[in-house]
Amino acid sequence: MKDFNDLLAKDREFRVQDQTFTWRDVRPEVLSSFEIDTNGNDPNAVWELMDRQILLFLPEDEHERWTELRARDKEPVTIGQINAVLTWLMEEQTGRPTEPPSPSAPGRGKTAASSKAA
């Protein structure tokens, strides 16, 4: 019998600065509901979105600690840490690494249609 529970992440804790957090699984619909204000009204919208995304994974009793950690000026959470935490949570949740797309070759590539035309 195939046990799909083996796909669940084992590592449920992460540390940022001096705080340790646990995370929980979320429904796939939660992951696809991420939106950003593309009107350009708020220059900090991306950071607020990323915080909301991270908070989705944390139990409610840890939300205040994350928010306080993000608000502090002394030993702040860096951009690199925020990106790494969110990427790691997504990878752990989905069971797949989030890799950037492979670069494509410069110039126009040949397609089946362009090969037939030649």
Domain boundaries, the chain: 16-95
**Residue 68 above 70 pLDDT?**
yes
Q: How is 40-103 classified by DSSP, letter by letter?
A: ---TTHHHHHHHHHHHHHS-GGGHHHHHHHHH-SSSPPPHHHHHHHHHHHHHHHHTS---PPPP
CB-CB contact of 54 with 66 (8 Å) = yes
pTM: 0.61
pLDDT digits (tens, 9 = 90+) for 24-47: 877 666 665 666 556 666 767 788
* pLDDT band at residue 96 using 50, 70 and 90 as cut-offs: confident
Give the per-residue pLDDT at 35. Answer: 60
- Calculate mean pLDDT across residues 50-78: 91
Give the per-residue pLDDT at 39. Answer: 66
